[in-house]
Structure 1
Amino acid sequence: MNSRVNILASDLDATDTKRHPFSSYPNGWYIIGTSADVKAGDVKTYRYFGQEIVVFRTKSGELSAVEPYCPHLGAHLGNGHVESETIVCPFHAWGFAADGRCEHIPYADRIPAKASLKPWHFREQGGLILLYWNRDGLAPSSNDAFPVPVEFSAESWSQAKTTTPLEVRTHVQELAENAFDLGHFSGLHGMGYPDVKIDDIDENSMHFTQKMDYRQGGIRLQYEVKLEQCGPNTAISRVTWGSIELILIVTNTPIDEEHIHIRTVVAIKNPASPLLREILFRYAFWYTRKELKKDVPIWESKRYHAKPMLCHADGPINTLRDWIQRYY
């Protein structure tokens, strides 16, 4: 008996010809670094969203993020330097303020009215530097808030720390789906199958509770995670493990259409022992990076299916997909 099945072109998922059938840059706030990365007088060049971004801090401490090329004759301002409250072009020494306006031309007594740099929408919060991306160039609204945890400013919590970003060939949305893909925790990470309950869904975030109870290396591990998916790119986990409380943020920013940077940010409710705090930091970073690296070869080789063949126990993947469409 011939068991071959003829597959028609109309039967194929439309995504079979493209890895991800949507924009590589969903609208929203993205972490590009920490405040400590850019000290007073520093000039740094970052590459995100398929373009370069020059970030500098004036002598008084004001941060700015601007387009990289001088509007005069196109010199790259990443090669410039800070003088007082301006970034100075390395070619003709035109000086630009933090808001992008040209304030000084050393050999001219008049400044062209349109001499300015395009500034990015950005902010510093909780020791993090965030940029806002909108495909139509719109400014962020109050509904586009990035909820940096209030604990990051609380005296009873440690200062947040972050890791060197991990570059991966994948899409922002793949990481969001990862948290809702319950089956992979057991199949790929050997963690057992979590108990998950969606607590709330609002304009900016999805809140759910995840409980784990499993054995690893002969040790029984029990913990509860309050997880908040913020926009398309950031998951904030509040982890309780006995008397230990910590906040773990896994966030990612698109470098270009094929690659992202993944960052881990951790803050810990201060234990009695500074040594224990340091051990917890190191363990959180080590464990998160170890588990993320298990996902990397999957992300870098998989294809997105718009109509996946899910079973009832796979988790609320489609709920996330429906909600996340607002960012495209």
Structure 2
Amino acid sequence: MIDSGPHSRRFARGWHCLGLERTFQDGKPHQIDAFGTSLVVFQSRDGQLNVLDAYCRHMGGNLAQGSIKGDAIACPFHDWRWGGDGSCAEIPYSRRVPRLARTRSWVTLQRNGHLYVWNDPQLRPPPEDVTIPELEGYGTDEWTEWSWNSLLIEGSNCREVIDNVVDMAHFYYVHLVKPTSFRNVFDKHIASQYMSALGRPDIELETNYGQEGLVMDSWATYYGPSFMVNGQTLASAGQSAEGLLINCHYPVTDNSFVLQWGAIVRKSPGMSDSAAQELADTFASSLGDAFLQDVEVWKGKARVDNPLLCDEDGPVYQLRRWYEQFYVDVEDVSPEMVARFEFEVDTVTAQDKWDKEIALNIASAQNLVT
């Protein structure tokens, strides 16, 4: 019997990417619905991006509908002004600010052109060793700027995204590539996937999907519960491209989340900036297409806490044990949740059966043509 597990309103502890820095650097407040509440993002005069609870502690006005005045965000209701540290900076019509006038200020991080916010139900600060790494090359002339997209997913939960880290077989059936090697490593707050794959020639015949001769080498690493960096090298028809893709999300409610993805690519010698940016857009579009394939599955599937597995399904239970560390209090994180774990899926049997299926599909397609 399927066990769907308990229905929890708790949101994962860790860094969550809210989007690109440049999105919030337009001199306006921005509302972000996340973690079962609403936040406001605004930039102060020193360039710092600040995140506060969106609803004013005075009478509940929505600060995201207010305006930025100096280094503060002004409520549209009574003009109470709140600094980036959460303190009430000014009440224009009052002789003094109440001593306890504060709102919640969220810890932020600006790195790699992204804005991150730290969520912790226990309201503890982020440990120094739990952070988002700086991406080597980003911001230099060798790499493009981010191509970026986002999508609200309703009726599903964040764990569905995480399960893909170990799900070798779905790459063949959903994303239409054939994995030739597949390995996972979990260690502390980091979970990684290493995969090599080939394009499926039978898909090329049926859909003109453009994967004939495609060779892909990929590493994908989650830094915490919601932010993944994916390095990919693609080769086809004598040409190759190297890109960094981002797959990240933040929860809106316990049953919805915002999925975000983007890409930058390394510029090849002699490649113009416009051509390189077009390639980055292509990378991001390809990743978006893959996500939309997943989304169609997520919309129709059930949440399963006790999946029935075969040998080639990968370490699903071990991944979920790793993921659980972000949903319990810090003092309840067990050694098993953060211990190093490595597993390599034996893809030999799957490749043999897939090759036979591909051959049959090609023969069938050729017979239809003739």
Q: TM-score, normalising length from structure 2?
A: 0.78
Inter-partner Cα distance in structure 1 for 2:61 and 2:174: 48
Indicate the residue corresponding to 1:226 in structure 2: 219
**Shift of residue 254, structure 1, vs aligned partner:** 0.8
Q: How does 1:57-136 map to 2 (within 5 A)?
A: 57-136=43-122
Query: 1:257 aligned to 2:257?
Result: no
Contact persistence 2:232–2:245 (CA under 8 A): yes
Counterpart of 1:279 in structure 2 is: 278
The alpha-carbon deviation at position 168 of structure 1 amounts to: 4.1
State the superposition RMSD in angstroms. Answer: 2.1
Q: Following TM superposition, by how much is the alpha carbon of 1:97 offset from its aligned partner in structure 2, in angstroms? A: 1.6
Q: Please, which runs of 5 or more residues in structure 1 have no aligned partner?
A: 1-11
Deviation at 1:248, TM superposition (A): 0.6
| Amino acid paired to 1:87 | I
Amino acid at match of 1:192: K
Aligned-residue offset at 1:326: 0.9
Partners of 1:168 and 1:262 within 8 A in 2: no
**Distance in 2 between the 1:232 and 1:117 partners?**
26
Residue in structure 1 matched with residue 325 of structure 2 by the alignment: 326
Find out whether 1:14 has 2:3 as its counterpart. Answer: yes
Equivalent in the alignment of 1:292: 291
The residue matched to 2:169 in structure 1 has which SS? helix
Q: Secondary structure at the match of 1:14?
A: coil
Higher mean alpha-carbon deviation, 254-263 vs 239-248, is at 239-248
Partner of 2:353: none
Conserved? CA contact 1:152–1:160, under 8 Å: no
Q: Does 1:235 align with 2:228?
A: yes
Out of 46-55 and 63-72, give the one that drifted further.
63-72
Amino acid at match of 1:297: E
Is the 8 Å Cα contact of residues 165 and 192 (structure 2) preserved in structure 1? no
**Conservation of the 8 A alpha-carbon contact between 2:21 and 2:115:** yes
Distance 1:183 1:127 in 2: 33
Tell me how far 1:164 sits from its aligned partner: 3.4
Q: Which amino acid aligns with 1:157?
A: W
- Residues 39-85 of structure 1: per-residue CA shift (max 9 Å, x gap): 25311111111111011112342221111222222222122111111
> CA 1:281–1:223 in 2, change beyond 3 Å: closer, same or farther?
same
Give CA-to-partner distance per residue, 1:224-256, whole Å, 9 cap, x none.
102212222232111112442110111111111
Aligned to 1:202: 187
Q: What is the CA-CA distance between 1:128 and the residue it aligns to?
A: 0.7
Q: 1:133 to 1:194 in 2, by over 3 A?
A: farther
| Partner residue, 1:3 | none
Segments of 5+ residues of structure 2 without an aligned counterpart are 206-211, 328-370
Q: How many residues align?
A: 313
- Contact kept, 8 Å, 1:227 with 1:236, in 2: the verdict is yes
Amino acid aligned to 2:255: E
Mapped partners of 1:211, 1:153: distance in 2 = 28
- Alpha carbons 1:41, 1:59 under 8 Å: kept: no
Cα distance in structure 2, aligned partners of 1:158 and 1:171: 32
| 145-154 or 36-45, which deviates more | 145-154
Find 2:37's aligned residue among 51, 55, 63. 51
Between the aligned partners of 2:243 and 2:120, the Cα distance in structure 1 is: 32
Which residue identity does 1:214 align to in structure 2? G
Q: Which residue does the alignment assign to 2:132?
A: 146
- Displacement of 1:13 after TM fit? 4.1
* 8 Å CA contact 1:24, 1:254 repeated in 2: no
Question: Could you tell me whether the CA contact under 8 Å between 2:166 and 2:315 is conserved in 1?
Answer: yes
Paired residue type of 1:89: C
Decide whether the 8 Å contact of 2:198 with 2:215 is kept in 1: yes
Partner Cα distance (1:46, 1:123) in 2? 16
Instruction: Return the offset for 1:159.
Output: 2.2
Q: How many angstroms apart in 1 are the aligned matches of 2:318 and 2:140?
A: 33
Gap change, CA 1:249 and 1:61, over 3 Å in 2: same
2-side partners of 1:73 and 1:279: how far apart? 48
- Counterparts of 1:166 and 1:90, CA distance in 2: 27
Asked whether the equivalents of residues 177 and 317 of structure 1 are also in contact (C-alpha less than 8 Å), the reply is yes
Q: Could you say which residue in structure 2 is the equivalent of 1:162?
A: 148
% identity of equivalent residues: 22
Matched AA of 2:260? R
